[in-house]
Amino acid sequence: MVFFAIKVYFRNMIEPAAGILLIADPFLKDPNFLRTVVLLCEHREQGSFGFVLNKQIEQTLDELVSDLDGVDLPVYYGGPVQMNTIHFIHQYPDLIPESVKVNNDIYWGGNFETVTALLKNKHIDHHKIKFFVGYSGWGDGQLAVEMKEKSWLTVSANRKLVFNTDHAEIWKGSLQELGGDYEMMINYPIDPQLN
| Average pLDDT of the segment spanning 60-71 | 94
pLDDT tier, 186 (very low <50, low <70, confident <90, very high otherwise): confident
Structure confidence by residue, pLDDT tens digits, 79-123:
999 999 999 999 999 999 999 999 989 999 999 999 999 999 999
Do residues 158 and 105 make contact, with C-beta atoms less than 8 angstroms apart? yes
For the chain, which domains are there?
18-187 (3.40.1740.10)
